[in-house]
Structure 1
Amino acid sequence: MAVPKRKMSRSNTRHRRAQWKAVVPQLTPCPCPRKETVVPHRACVHCGLYRGRQVVDQT
């Protein structure tokens, strides 16, 4: 297991941690009449459409 040879300074630690950001997921409108928002490249959880085709059976 890799072990650091020297202590990392507080400044360097904080610079590294500053890059950890929460990212809001991109949402696109679903082509169904309800116009729900969907994460891209995923089937709509409300209607089951993906790229204009029914891929999930909504029962």
Structure 2
Amino acid sequence: MVPLPKRKLSKGRRDRRRAHDALKAANLVQCSNCGELRLPHTVCPNCGYYQGREVISMEKEAKK
């Protein structure tokens, strides 16, 4: 036998349980080199810099 709820869940209780499931906007920060918005702790997809150093040379990437 499958257990079933004894009472109907109220809309308020149901919605409180689902409240944290909503999608949250991404936390974007400005690149220190070019000022473009990027995700924190990642290389800037626009200029290839991370923490003030060039990690990916974008000229080589553009030629491919």
Of all paired residues, the percent bearing the same amino acid is 27
**Over residues 2-53 of structure 1, what are the superposed CA-to-partner deviations in whole Å (9 max), with x where a residue is unaligned?**
xx73337253433211221221111111111x31011100100001111111
Q: Which runs of 5+ in 1 are unaligned?
A: none
Q: Which runs of 5+ in 2 are unaligned?
A: none
TM-score, normalised via structure 2 length: 0.65
TM-score, normalised via structure 1 length: 0.69
Pair member with larger Rg: 2
How many pairs are equivalent? 55
Paired with 2:16 and 2:32, the residues of 1 have a C-alpha distance of 42
Paired letter, 1:18:
A
Across the aligned residues of Structure 1 and Structure 2, the Cα RMSD in angstroms comes to 2.1
Paired with 1:35 and 1:14, the residues of 2 have a C-alpha distance of 40
What is the 5 A alignment of 1:4-43? 5-7=3-5, 9-11=9-11, 12-32=13-33, 34-43=34-43
